[in-house]
């Protein structure tokens, strides 16, 4: 849910800055799959408002949301371990 809200916020900021082409990288496959189309219902209903906002902002910009392996996301993994 935190990543969904982060992507939603980032897409809003990018729209305000009038950037035209942006690539988002995440290690969350659910988020990538649920944000590909607005009609596709995410498995977790709580992230639907965030994915819908991202999809709405995506109509004004050229944005892609891609999945990367968790192993490549070292910084986020390190911070998550410290939080535990």
Q: What is the CATH number of the domain that holds 14?
A: 3.30.420.10
Residues 3-61: tens digit of each pLDDT: 888 888 988 999 899 888 888 888 888 888 776 655 566 667 788 888 888 888 888 88
Is residue 38 classed exposed, middle or buried when 0-12, 13-18 and 19+ CB atoms within 10 A define those classes?
middle
Contact in structure between 31 and 51 (CB atoms under 8 Å):
yes
Looking up tokens 């410290």 gives: 82
Strand duo 21-26 + 62-67: pairing = parallel
- The count of domains in the chain is 1
Task: Say how far apart CA 19 and CA 71 lie, in whole Å.
Answer: 29
SS3 67: strand
pLDDT reading at 71 higher than 60: yes
Identify the pLDDT of residue 6: 87
Q: pTM of the predicted model, to two decimals?
A: 0.69
Domain limits for position 61: 2-83
Identify the pLDDT of residue 41: 63
């Amino acid at each position: 849910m935190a990543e969904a809200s982060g992507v939603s916020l980032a897409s809003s900021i990018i729209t305000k800055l009038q950037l035209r082409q942006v690539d988002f990288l995440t290690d969350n496959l659910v988020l990538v799959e649920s944000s590909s189309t607005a009609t596709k219902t995410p498995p977790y209903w709580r992230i639907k408002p965030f994915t819908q906002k991202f999809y709405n902002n995506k109509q004004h910009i050229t944005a892609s949301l891609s999945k990367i392996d968790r192993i490549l996301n070292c910084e986020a993994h390190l911070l998550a371990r410290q939080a535990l």
